[in-house]
Amino acid sequence: MRTQKGFTLLEVMVAVVIMGTVLVTLIGLKNGSMQDVLFAEHMTTATMLARNKMVDTLSLMSSKKLQPPLEEEGDFTDDDSLKDFTWKRTVSKIPLPTGNSITEIRVATLWKEGTRQEQVELVSYE
């Protein structure tokens, strides 16, 4: 009676296929996770930029330096790390049925995420 020690070629091939499948899956998950982290970082940056632009806009509105209707856009050229972000500001009057009106202020921060155009928009009513 002969006793065999070790693995057959078929067992080794099955183990290599299983390991390859697991590694490809893990690498795909890692890449997806890295893209999600980068998107979250861009979203956080865009939100903070939009908030700062909204605060500036409200300050200019209270000092009467901005009057509706107004539509402006620009970029953040003062900081090189923000060169991928742009902003858009819209101030308009919305008439109410009572004859009065309210002011709508919209501030959006835009950026490219791969081939998609993404944006964060904040709205305030005064």
User: CA separation (Å) from 102 to 45, 62, 119?
Assistant: 29, 14, 25
Instruction: Give dist(CA 92, CA 94) in Å, integer.
Output: 7
Q: pLDDT by residue (tens digit) across 17-57? A: 999 999 988 888 887 788 889 999 999 999 999 999 999 99
Taken in order 54, 60, 62, 67, the sign of the CA dihedral is negative
Q: pTM of the full predicted structure?
A: 0.75
Q: Are 101 and 112 in contact (CB under 8 A)?
A: no
Segments making up each domain of the chain, as ranges: 9-125
